[in-house]
């Protein structure tokens, strides 16, 4: 889900990940694909829950894209 500055929501990508291990690295790769589709300069933050695999993915994303806030 992408939220624009005008508060419009768009479903950008929907993918079945039920047969894939939800490692931090894999989740980071999926997030990075979306960032690259849109452009990292257009991202401000990524919002999600605080599961350990998600926290790991956010850490990897923030290292590579320091302009993106981890919420």
User: Where do the structural domains in the chain lie, given as residue ranges?
Assistant: 23-71
The runs of H, that is alpha helices, within the chain are 24-38, 52-64
pTM for the full predicted model: 0.78
Q: Which pLDDT score, from 0 to 100, does residue 56 have?
A: 92
State mean pLDDT over 6-33.
86
Other residues' Cβ atoms within 10 Å of the Cβ of residue 19: 5
> Is 58 exposed, middle or buried (CB count within 10 Å of its CB: 0-12, 13-18, 19+)?
buried
Q: What is the pLDDT of residues 22-36, one digit of tens each?
A: 899 999 999 999 899
């Amino acid at each position: 889900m992408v939220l624009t500055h005008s508060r419009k929501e768009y479903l950008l990508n929907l993918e079945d990940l039920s047969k894939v291990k939800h490692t931090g690295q894999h989740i980071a790769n999926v997030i990075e694909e979306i960032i690259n589709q849109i452009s990292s300069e257009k991202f401000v933050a990524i919002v999600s829950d605080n599961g350990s695999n998600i926290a790991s993915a956010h850490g990897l994303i923030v290292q590579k894209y320091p302009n993106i806030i981890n919420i």
